[in-house]
């Protein structure tokens, strides 16, 4: 009903508002009545928008900074798994806002495609994602000093649990260069590894043994722990460690919802817009967990500031601050000498267009009442002639 | 084989460490080896550590054998009669000192009835787990530890009777409570260290109720009548010390009434209290600006110019003057000589401090607060028997802090003052709350300490029964008259031309970074500018080279040291701090140019 009228307002109003009006209007409203309503809404909408000269950045900073002082609890532990703890609270907020390249606890939430997400075989699926090395499946690894070779015994139960067959093990072991692997015919779990290098000494054998321990068997590199969790009707896999591009390639993974908490990985795989959303989501994870209340728009503003170029920038002297146009504003943050000298070398100009510089000079800051000026510009000549 | 260490140095091995340790302890108790030695057998490391070095913290414990303390009734009787001393008990091996490492090997019973055959030691008294100040808090086993430690800290700040020879002392910054009292509710420790000889508080009637919001947020309401009767009255003493210094060339300071031609001469009225010797007379009532001790010093620099000029040898005024906002009465004047043989004049200033709004008071339970209002006695609430409280304490201070000891002291104090005796509030060993309540009941009061109370202004009976009783209150040394401070105009710093900092220098109240942010957030741009213009200056700027030009006031002419006087020079208003940073840039080898443009 009246669809063409609604269409008319699409550019003027937020789609959510149009949707709300649609669902709340009485059935038998006339077109003129509806138009009146819509115009009224547009009027109101314009009124509530942020006005020119409002210091949105500073208000955002205060609105995020103040609740930040109340944050408690720096880590969160998943039931029973000591290794799977998550950095939360102020350390996590700092980590996000600083735009750290490597975060302290990278994690993923892997959503699964329909038949897999029901929970059947979820443990096996989860373990297949986990990075498994030889040392995770062996029960014994000995050096035979007489024959100068290595005897490796596989833990059969672990293999079963992880869904690996012995042929695969043989295959990965064979990939190791300069070695020859033989599977015992009597004991299927026993492998003998012999170095093909001539005149090998015990020391080298020892090194080889350490190398064998770290041979990659299956799974995805970087995923150190997996934990199947029921979220709503479906099962998902929480992981410690992150490798977004590899995980998204897996056929049973729902690539539309799977996400990592590593901003730079998200930015690299999914693009800067995804990273922006990721910043917002990750910050709100902390805020919600602490039971604090921050308006979304403040966080969005910060995320926008961090993500206007191709890679996320932290709010540090290397990131966002270094892009400030004013020399004095940059110098007033950290390492003033560095900025001053850099600016002096190229003869930079400070146009005094922002807040900090003007406070330093004791001039009116160009926000709020300090923003408006004369619409008619006075001719500079006339002033000078006097 | 177990290794043995003496003061952390290896000295040898023993076969049976347990026996060895027992032998050492045994001979120590017999007095064969020093009492200062402690020994510990570490079972995990299988090492024996002996320590007799200095600086260890040790505490005395009663030795227990087979579940029975060695200290007997007989010992105590002998102690009471004075036949033996505490030292004898240590020598006899009844009490021994244990350090932190030896403590690892002992099992200490808290009270005598806790004793089992496994115990090796018994606490002398349960209160000995606390320090001196903490054990002065009565009933402290009923309050959270944090509050007890606050109560202990507050007592250190209480005004009292610090020494009996105060009239002949010259102490710095000292307070003296005028009529201190011994607390009605005491702990054993009060008796042990002679608290009666130097008490630091007063027993007053406290009502726990709200009073028109004047006691919210920890404030207290005081009875004007009680203050007039002497509650919380104290004296504040401050010395003025001046020395006649000797300088090179035979010049000296001179304590005298300065001559009128002295540099920096104040006015005749400022010297009015000084006697002929330049020193004030006792009992003079001085205010700010008055000179207490007059002094002149020789001129600071003796240059050749001074020698021939008319003002040659002009002496400087360097008297001791009362500071801003200070007042007092001259209490004591003392003229002596110091170690170098210079004349030394010390004057002690006394100022009576009557409680006023803002002064800080506390009970002994960390329940501190400042006076919110002083109410005339006739307007104070009164009980059925006509008692008006001296102090009204807000009940909102109780639930979150859980200082139950505060409430028990109130009942204890009431019982004590009604029956005319002291009440024992020793931690863990106090009179029981139940007994106190029973006694209060037998004295004809409601056993929970509440009473019917009437509004002092209307005479109406309050609906609620008010919890009212006696408590020991302390006046703390934080008094508003030492802290009150405001400024409109005043001194500025030489370097930055910004206001000075701190009350002593009559300084400004800083509008800091975060306060600045609130102005920006409100968009109050011009207000912010006004707030920050304490150091604004008008600076002539050369439009040719962009540096600060020179204004010759005498010729009323501007010129630029770089471009001469044939350039456009404009006056610009900036903060002096910015002028300073421009100078700083120049010193760094950076050439800061100001390009001017009309703003509007």
ipTM field = 0.79
B531 touches chain A (CB under 8 A): no
Picking from B572, B525, B526, B517, the residue whose alpha carbon sits closest to that of residue B547 is B572
CATH 2.40.270.10 domain extents, chain B:
140-233+357-475
Chain centre to alpha carbon of residue A192 = 44
What is the dotted CATH code of the domain comprising B235-353? 2.40.50.150
A260: which strand partners? A108
**Phi, psi (deg, nearest 5) at residue B457:** -95, -40
Cα of A372 to nearest chain B Cα, Å: 10
Q: Do A62 and B590 touch (CB under 8 A)?
A: no
Quote the CA–CA distance of B59 and B40 in Å, as a whole number.
15
Quote the CA–CA distance of A204 and B354 in Å, as a whole number.
89
Q: Do A369 and B591 touch (CB under 8 A)?
A: no
What is the CA angle A76-A79-A84, rounded to 5? 55
Q: Do A364 and B532 touch (CB under 8 A)?
A: no
Q: Is residue A379 part of a domain?
A: no
The answer to whether residues A358 and A288 belong to one domain is no
Average pLDDT, chain B: 91
Quote the CA–CA distance of B575 and B578 in Å, as a whole number.
5
CATH 3.90.1800.10 domain extents, chain B:
513-588
Q: Is residue A236 part of a domain?
A: no
Quote the CA–CA distance of B89 and B63 in Å, as a whole number.
11
Q: Nearest CB to A355: which of B520, B588, B595?
A: B520
Residue B226 predicted with pLDDT over 50: yes
What is the CA angle B118-B123-B126, rounded to 5? 125
CATH 2.40.50.150 domain extents, chain B:
235-353
Give per-residue pLDDT as tens, A193-230.
Answer: 888 877 777 788 888 888 888 888 888 989 988 888 88
Residues of chain A in Cβ contact (below 8 Å) with chain B: 53-55, 58-59, 61-62, 337, 340-341, 344, 349, 355, 359-371, 373-374, 378, 380, 383-384
Q: What is the mean pLDDT of residues B155-174?
A: 90
The answer to whether residues A145 and A200 belong to one domain is yes
How many residues are listed for chain A in this entry?
386
Strands B2-6, B9-14: pairing is antiparallel
Cα dihedral B122→B127→B129→B130 (10° resolution): -170
Task: Print the domain residue range for A302.
Answer: 53-105+261-323
Last residue of a domain, one of A48, A68, A85: A48
Q: Nearest CB to B523: which of A55, A359, A378?
A: A55
Give per-residue pLDDT as tens, A134-166.
Answer: 888 888 888 887 778 888 888 888 888 888 888
The CATH number of residue A78's host domain is: 1.10.1790
The answer to whether residues A87 and A38 belong to one domain is no
**Phi, psi (deg, nearest 5) at residue A98:** -75, -15
Interface of B with A in 499-528 (CB under 8 A): 516-518, 520-526, 528
Q: Nearest CB to A359: which of B532, B597, B599?
A: B532
Q: Is residue A252 part of a domain?
A: no
DSSP string, B97-135: EEEHHHHTT--EESSGGG--TT--EE-S-GGGGS-TTGG
Question: Tokens 């005094």 — which residue?
Answer: A352
Q: Is residue A155 part of a domain?
A: yes
Give per-residue pLDDT as tens, B534-543.
Answer: 999 999 999 9
Give per-residue pLDDT as tens, B274-322.
Answer: 999 999 999 999 998 899 999 998 887 655 455 555 555 678 888 999 9
Q: Nearest CB to A344: which of B533, B535, B590?
A: B590
Cα of B47 to nearest chain A Cα, Å: 35
Quote the CA–CA distance of A128 and A120 in Å, as a whole number.
14
The two structure tokens encoding residue B356: 């006023």
Give per-residue pLDDT as tens, A167-193.
Answer: 888 888 888 787 888 888 888 888 888
Cα of B403 to nearest chain A Cα, Å: 26
Q: Nearest CB to A373: which of B517, B522, B600?
A: B600
Helix (H) or strand (E) holding A194: strand A190-195
Average pLDDT, chain A: 87
Q: Is residue A39 part of a domain?
A: yes
Q: Which CATH architecture has domain B140-233+357-475?
A: Beta Barrel (2.40)
Max CA separation in chain B (angstroms): 108
pLDDT at B313: 61
Total count of domains within chain A: 4
Q: Do B523 and A367 touch (CB under 8 A)?
A: yes
User: What is the number of alpha carbons within 13 Å of residue A47 lying toward its C-beta?
Assistant: 6
Q: A360: which chain B residues are within 8 Å (Cβ-Cβ)?
A: 575, 577-578, 581
A91 DSSP 8-state letter: H
Give per-residue pLDDT as tens, B128-153.
Answer: 888 899 999 999 999 999 999 999 99
Q: B525: which chain A residues are within 8 Å (Cβ-Cβ)?
A: 364-371
Residue B7 predicted with pLDDT over 90: yes
B564: which strand partners? B560
Residue A385 predicted with pLDDT over 50: no
Backbone CA torsion sign across B502, B507, B513, B514: positive
Q: Do A55 and B591 touch (CB under 8 A)?
A: no
Chain B residue with minimum CA distance to A60: B521
Interface of B with A in 196-255 (CB under 8 A): none
Q: Do A362 and B597 touch (CB under 8 A)?
A: no
What is the dotted CATH code of the domain comprising B513-588? 3.90.1800.10
- As a whole number of Å, the end-to-end CA separation of chain A is 69
B260: which strand partners? none
B568 touches chain A (CB under 8 A): yes
């Amino acid at each position: 009903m009246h669809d063409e009228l609604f269409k008319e307002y699409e550019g003027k109003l937020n789609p959510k508002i149009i949707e709300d009006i649609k669902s709340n209007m009485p059935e038998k409203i006339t077109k003129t009545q509806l138009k009146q309503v819509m115009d009224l809404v547009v009027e109101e909408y314009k009124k509530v928008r942020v006005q020119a000269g409002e210091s949105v950045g500073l208000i955002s900073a205060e609105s995020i900074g103040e609740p930040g002082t109340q944050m408690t609890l720096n880590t969160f532990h998943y039931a029973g798994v000591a290794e799977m703890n998550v950095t939360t609270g102020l350390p996590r907020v700092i980590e996000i806002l600083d735009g750290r390249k490597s975060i302290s606890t990278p994690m993923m939430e892997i959503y699964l495609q329909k038949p897999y997400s029901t929970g059947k075989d979820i443990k096996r699926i989860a373990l297949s994602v986990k990075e498994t090395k030889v040392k995770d499946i062996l029960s014994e690894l000995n050096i035979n000093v007489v024959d100068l070779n290595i005897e490796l015994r596989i833990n059969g139960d672990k293999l079963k649990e992880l869904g690996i067959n012995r042929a695969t093990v043989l295959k990965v072991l064979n990939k190791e260069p300069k070695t020859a692997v033989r599977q015992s015919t009597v004991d299927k779990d026993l492998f003998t590894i012999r170095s093909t290098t001539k005149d090998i000494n015990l020391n080298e054998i020892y090194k080889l043994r350490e190398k064998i321990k770290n041979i990659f068997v299956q799974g995805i590199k970087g995923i150190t722990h997996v934990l199947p969790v029921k979220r709503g009707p479906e099962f998902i896999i929480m992981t410690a460690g992150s490798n977004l591009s590899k995980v998204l390639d897996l056929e049973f993974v729902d690539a539309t919802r799977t996400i990592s908490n590593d901003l730079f990985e998200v930015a690299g795989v999914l693009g800067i817009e995804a990273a922006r959303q990721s910043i917002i989501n990750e910050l709100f994870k902390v805020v919600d967990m602490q039971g604090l209340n921050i308006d979304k728009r403040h966080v969005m503003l910060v995320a926008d500031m961090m993500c206007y170029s191709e890679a996320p920038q932290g709010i540090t002297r290397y990131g966002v601050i270094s892009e400030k146009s004013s020399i004095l504003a940059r110098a007033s943050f950290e390492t003033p000498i560095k900025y001053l000298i850099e600016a002096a070398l190229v003869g930079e100009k400070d146009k005094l267009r922002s807040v900090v510089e003007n406070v330093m000079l004791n001039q009116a800051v160009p926000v709020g009442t300090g923003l408006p000026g004369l619409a008619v510009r006075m001719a500079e000549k006339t002033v000078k002639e006097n | 084989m177990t290794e043995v260490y003496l003061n952390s140095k290896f000295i040898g091995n023993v076969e049976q460490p347990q026996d060895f340790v027992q032998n050492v302890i045994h001979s120590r108790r017999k007095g064969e080896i020093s009492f200062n030695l402690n020994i510990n057998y570490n079972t995990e490391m299988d090492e024996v550590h002996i320590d007799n070095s200095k600086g260890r913290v040790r505490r005395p414990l009663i030795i227990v054998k087979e579940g029975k303390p060695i200290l007997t009734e007989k010992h105590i009787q002998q102690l009471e009669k004075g036949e033996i001393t505490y030292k004898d008990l240590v020598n006899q091996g009844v009490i021994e000192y244990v350090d932190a490492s030896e403590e690892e090997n002992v099992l200490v019973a808290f009270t005598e009835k806790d004793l089992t055959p496994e115990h090796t030691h018994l606490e002398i008294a349960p209160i000995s787990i606390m320090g001196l100040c903490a054990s002065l808090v009565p009933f402290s086993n009923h309050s959270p530890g944090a509050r007890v430690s606050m109560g202990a800290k507050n007592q250190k700040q209480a005004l009292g009777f610090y020494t009996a020879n105060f009239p002949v002392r010259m102490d710095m910054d000292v307070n003296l409570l005028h009529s201190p009292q011994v607390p009605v509710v005491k702990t054993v420790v009060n008796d042990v260290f002679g608290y009666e000889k130097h008490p630091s508080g007063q027993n007053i009637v406290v009502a726990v109720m709200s009073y028109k919001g004047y006691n919210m947020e920890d404030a207290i309401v005081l009875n004007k009548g009680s203050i007039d009767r002497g509650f919380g009255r104290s004296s504040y003493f401050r010395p003025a010390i001046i020395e006649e210094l000797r300088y090179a060339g035979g010049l000296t300071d001179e304590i005298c009434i300065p001559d009128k031609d002295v540099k920096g001469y104040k006015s005749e009225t400022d010297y009015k209290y000084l006697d002929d010797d330049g020193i004030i007379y006792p009992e003079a009532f001085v205010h700010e600006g008055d000179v207490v001790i007059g002094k002149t010093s020789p001129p600071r620099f003796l240059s050749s110019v001074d020698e021939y000029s008319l003002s040659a040898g002009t002496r400087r005024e360097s008297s001791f003057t009362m500071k801003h906002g200070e007042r007092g009465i001259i209490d004591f004047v003392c003229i002596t000589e110091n170690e170098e043989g210079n004349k030394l004049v010390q004057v002690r200033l006394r100022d009576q401090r009557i409680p006023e709004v803002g002064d800080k008071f506390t009970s002994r339970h960390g329940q501190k607060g400042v006076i919110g209002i002083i109410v005339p006695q006739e307007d104070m609430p009164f009980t059925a028997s006509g008692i008006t409280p001296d102090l009204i304490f807000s009940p909102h201070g109780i639930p979150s802090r859980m200082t139950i000891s505060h409430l028990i002291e109130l009942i204890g104090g009431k019982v004590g003052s009604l029956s005319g005796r002291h009440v024992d509030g020793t931690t863990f060993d106090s009179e029981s709350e139940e007994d106190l309540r029973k006694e209060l009941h037998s004295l004809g009061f409601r056993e929970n300490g509440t009473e019917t109370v009437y509004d002092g202004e209307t005479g109406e009976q309050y609906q609620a029964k008010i919890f009212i009783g006696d408590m020991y209150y302390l006046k703390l040394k934080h008094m508003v008259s030492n802290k009150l401070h405001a400024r409109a105009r005043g001194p500025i710093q030489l370097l930055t031309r910004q206001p000075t900092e701190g009350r002593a220098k009559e300084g400004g109240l800083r509008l800091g970074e975060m306060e600045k942010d609130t102005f920006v957030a409100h968009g109050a741009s011009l207000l912010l500018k006004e707030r920050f213009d304490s150091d604004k200056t008008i600076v002539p700027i050369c439009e040719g080279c962009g540096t600060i030009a020179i204004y010759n006031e005498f010729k009323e002419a501007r010129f630029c040291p770089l471009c001469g006087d044939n350039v456009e020079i404009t006056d610009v208003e900036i903060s002096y701090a910015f002028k300073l940073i421009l100078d700083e840039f120049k010193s760094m080898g950076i050439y800061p140019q100001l390009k001017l443009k009309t703003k509007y």
